[in-house]
Structure 1
Amino acid sequence: MTKKFQKTLGEGGFGTVYYGNLNGSEQVAVKVELLLRVHHINLVSLVGYCDERDHLALIYECMSNGDLKDHLSGKHGNSVLKWSTRLRIAVDAALGLEYLHYGCRPSIVHRDVKSTNILLDDQFMAKIADFGLSRSFQIGEESQASTVVAGTLGYLDPETCRLAEMSDVYSFGILLLEIITNQNVIDQGREKAHITEWVALVLKGGDVAKIVDPNLHGEYNSRSVWRALELAMSCANPSSEHRPNMSHVVTDLKECISSEKPMQCMDHDMNSNSSLEQSSNFDTEVVPSAR
C-alpha cells in the first residue's frame, strides 16, 4: 500500500503518517508506527487487519472476560471480584502504562485510561485496550501543549493543556479509586459528585468500611486498602508535580499485595481496629504523597 513506506506525509498521534494507494485507485494516509511497536503482556495485542472491499477492520486478541467496569457493576453475574484480584488487576494495568511511558521510544501517552478500557482474559489478567486517543512524544517533550482535549469525563487530568505521562497517572488514580470503592466516577446524587471529592469527604470520618466496595463484605486487609487509597489520591492530585510516576505506582501496588497476603486469614475485627488506627494518621485535607 505504501510501496515500502516510500513517501512520508507527516507526524500524527499514532506516529509517522505515510502516503498510500488503496487498490490502485484511492489515495490514503497510513498510520502504522504506534500499533506495530507496542508489545507488552498487559496491552491488548494487535493480531492483524482485514481489508475486503468495503470491510476494513483491525483484529485484536480476544479478551474473554470482558472489561473491568462490567465486573465491578455486576453485569457478569453475581460473582464479586475479590480484593486480592482487584489489586492484581491494578498492578497489571499499571505495568502496561509503565511500559508505554518508559518502555517505548518515543514514549506513548494513552490518554483514555478508564475501567471500560481495562480488559480481562480467562485468567483475569488485565490488559489495556483502545489506543484510539493515544499520542507519542519524544523525550524532553513531556510538557508540550496538546491542542485537543481528549479522554473521558471524570478521568480527565485537570491540567488538560499538557500532553504528558502524568495525565495517564491522574486517570489511573481515578481508576484505582473505582476499583476500591465500586462507585461511579461522577454521581450527581452524592454529596460530592466527583469520586475524589467524595472519598476525601468520607475519609474525614476515619472509617474505611464506608469507602470500600460493600460487596466485599469486609474481606480485605485494611492496611493494604489504606495504602491503595493513599496511592490513588496521590495519583489523582490536581497538580501533576505531586503525582508519582508509574514505576512508583507499580512498586506501591506490589507492596499492597505483599501486605495483604499475610493477613488474609486474620479476624475481620482486627482489620476494623487497624483501619481506625491508620485513620488518625491519614490527612484528608491534603492529598497524601506517594511512599
Structure 2
Amino acid sequence: MNLHLVFFLILVLTVSLSSSNLHASNANAQAETPGIQEARVVHHQNLNKIILVALIVCCVLLGGIFLFLSRVWFGRHKILRSSSSKSEGTMEAAKGKTLNPVSAKLNYSRMTDKKSSVAIFDFQLLEAATNSFCKSNIMGESGSRIVYRAHLEEHFKAAVKIANSDADREFENEVSWLSKMRHQNIIKLLGYCIHGESRFLVYELMENGSLETQLHGPNHGSSLTWFLRLRIAIDVARALEYLHEHSNPPLVHRDLKSSNVLLDSKFNAKLSDFGLAIASGMQHKNMKMSGTLGYVAPEYISHGKLTDKSDVYAFGVVLLELLTGRKPMENMSSNAYQSLISWAMPQLTDRSKLPSILDPVIRNTMDLKHLYQVAAVAVLCVQPEPSYRPLITDVLHSLIPLVPVELGGSLRVTEPVHSEDLH
C-alpha cells in the first residue's frame, strides 16, 4: 500500500476521533458549569491530549512500515547483487579466465523429479571452451551430430554434443533419463544448453572416443586386446542389465551400437545416447520406426515389436564386431550390402572355421575354449526368434568368468549408484 495513502487514512481517523471527543467535551463542560470560558479551557486541554496520542500512534505505525519496507528493499538488493555476481562470473569464464567450474559456471536447475538435477551451461561458456566450436576440437561425428572436446578449465574437460535441430523430443528424452541415472557403465550427463534453436548436451569426457572409432577408424582395433574387448562387452552388458532389471521404470535403450559405446582413458566402456530410450512394456502403436541398419532386431523391422530382447540382439551385433573387427553392414557393391550376421553365422558354429574370421589383431591370443564360449553367446543373442535369446543377466554371467580378476573381471561388479544417494 502507498505510504502517503496510509498517512492520509491515519490523519482522517485522528480528525474523526478529535471531532467526536470535541463534541463529548463540550457537552460535559456545559453540564458541569455555566461558564463559557471554563468550557473552552477544558476543550483545548482535551484536544491537546488527543493530538498527542494521535501523533504517537502515527509515529509508531510509520516506524513499523518503514522498518518493513527497509527489510524488503535490502532483501531484494541482496538477491540482485548475488545474481549480478553470478552473471559476471559466467562472462569472465567465457573470456577464458579460470574459475571454479561448479560455482561460477553452472546454474543448477531441478528437473520434474525432485531427486535429480542437471546443470545449465551458458552458450558463451561452451563457445569459449570449444574455441568457437573449432574443427580441431571435434572428437567424433554420428550423422548430423558432432561431439566437441571442451576445455572448461585446466583440469576440467568435457564433451559437448550438438543435438539434432529437429529432434527436440529426443533431446528432452535424453536429459530426462540421464538426469536420473547414476551407474558406472552409463555416461554421466553434466548438463545442457539451449541457445535459440540450437541444443547442446554436455557429458563427462571419454578420452578414447567410441568403440566404433577404435574398431573401424585409423587404428583398426590395434589398441584393443582380447581381454580389453571382453571387458568392454561386460561393461555394456552391465549397463543393459541396469536398464532392464534395476531402472525404475525398466528401459529399452533402442539404439545400442558401437558408436554409442564410449571408452575412457583406461578403455572402460559406458553406454551413451538415450534419446530413443523408452520404458519397457509400454504400448508403442504410434512409435516412429528408428534405429541403425545392422543392429535392429528383425521382429522390430517386421512387426514393430520392441522389448528388452531387442537390446540383446543389438548387443550380439556389437559382440560380433569385437570378435571380427568388421562393420555390421559391409558395402559389397554400389547397391549391395552384406550384414555381419549373415556373413559370420555359418562360421561361428563351425569350430574349425571360427578362428579364421577373428580380427587379425586378436587372432591366436586367447584360449580357444573362451573363444568358443563367447561365440556361442553371440550366436544366441542374434537369434531371429526373440524367445530364443538369453536375458542380458545370463549373458553377463557367462562372460564375467572369462576375464581374470586382475584385469577387471568379477571384482568390477559393483552396486549401481542411484540418483537419490547423491542428494
Instruction: Give the superposition deviation at 1:122.
Output: 0.5
1:197 equivalent among 315, 338, 342: 342
- Per the alignment, residue 11 of structure 1 pairs with none
76 and 210 in structure 1: CA distance in 2 versus 1, 3 angstrom threshold: closer
Question: Distance in 1 between the 2:201 and 2:238 partners?
Answer: 24
Instruction: Give the superposition deviation at 1:135.
Output: 1.0
- Per the alignment, residue 111 of structure 1 pairs with 254
Instruction: Give the superposition deviation at 1:146.
Output: 6.4
1:237 equivalent among 370, 383, 391: 383
The reply to whether residue 156 of structure 1 matches residue 301 of structure 2 is no
In structure 2, stretches of 5+ residues that fail to align are 1-108, 113-167, 408-423
Question: Distance in 2 between the 1:4 and 1:66 partners?
Answer: 29
Task: Report the TM-score, using the length of structure 2 for normalisation.
Answer: 0.51
Of the structure 1 ranges 142-151 and 61-70, higher mean CA displacement relative to structure 2 is found in: 142-151
The reply to whether residue 221 of structure 1 matches residue 367 of structure 2 is yes
- Per the alignment, residue 269 of structure 1 pairs with none
Please say if residues 145 and 163 of structure 1, whose CA atoms lie closer than 8 Å, have aligned partners that are also in contact.
Answer: no
Please say if residues 80 and 216 of structure 1, whose CA atoms lie closer than 8 Å, have aligned partners that are also in contact.
Answer: no
Secondary structure of the 2:403 match is helix
Question: Distance in 2 between the 1:236 and 1:149 partners?
Answer: 20
2:274 equivalent among 126, 131, 142: 131
Question: Distance in 2 between the 1:229 and 1:125 partners?
Answer: 22
Secondary structure of the 2:310 match is helix
Question: Distance in 1 between the 2:318 and 2:234 partners?
Answer: 12
Secondary structure of the 2:239 match is helix
Secondary structure of the 2:276 match is coil
Instruction: Give the superposition deviation at 1:144.
Output: 5.6
How do 1:136-147 residues align onto structure 2 when only pairs under 5 Å count?
136-137=279-280, 141=281, 145=285, 147=287
Q: How many residues align?
A: 236
151 and 39 in structure 1: CA distance in 2 versus 1, 3 angstrom threshold: same
Instruction: Give the superposition deviation at 1:196.
Output: 1.6
Instruction: Give the superposition deviation at 1:72.
Output: 1.2
One-letter code of the match for 1:115? Answer: S
- Per the alignment, residue 283 of structure 1 pairs with none
Larger-gyration structure (1/2) = 2
Question: Distance in 2 between the 1:125 and 1:80 partners?
Answer: 13
4+ runs of 1 displaced by more than 6 Å?
none
In structure 1, stretches of 5+ residues that fail to align are 6-27, 262-291
Instruction: Give the superposition deviation at 1:53.
Output: 5.4
Secondary structure of the 1:168 match is helix
Deviation string 1:158-201 (CA, Å, 9 cap, x unpaired) is: 01011211100000001101110111212243999221221122
Instruction: Give the superposition deviation at 1:54.
Output: 5.8
Q: Choose between structure 1 and 2: higher helix proportion.
A: 2
Deviation string 1:61-83 (CA, Å, 9 cap, x unpaired) is: 11010011111124248833100
Instruction: Give the superposition deviation at 1:214.
Output: 1.3
Question: Distance in 2 between the 1:92 and 1:146 partners?
Answer: 33
Question: Distance in 2 between the 1:192 and 1:57 partners?
Answer: 34
Identical pairs, percent: 34
Instruction: Give the superposition deviation at 1:120.
Output: 0.2
RMSD: 3.1
The reply to whether residue 247 of structure 1 matches residue 387 of structure 2 is no
Question: Distance in 1 between the 2:283 and 2:354 partners?
Answer: 36
Secondary structure of the 1:102 match is helix
User: Could you say which structure has the greater relative contact order, defined with CA pairs below 8 angstroms and 6 or more residues apart?
Assistant: 1
The reply to whether residue 180 of structure 1 matches residue 323 of structure 2 is yes
Question: Distance in 2 between the 1:225 and 1:209 partners?
Answer: 8
Deviation string 1:202-223 (CA, Å, 9 cap, x unpaired) is: 2447222212111224111111
Question: Distance in 2 between the 1:150 and 1:128 partners?
Answer: 18
One-letter code of the match for 1:164? Answer: T
- Per the alignment, residue 204 of structure 2 pairs with 61
Secondary structure of the 2:193 match is strand
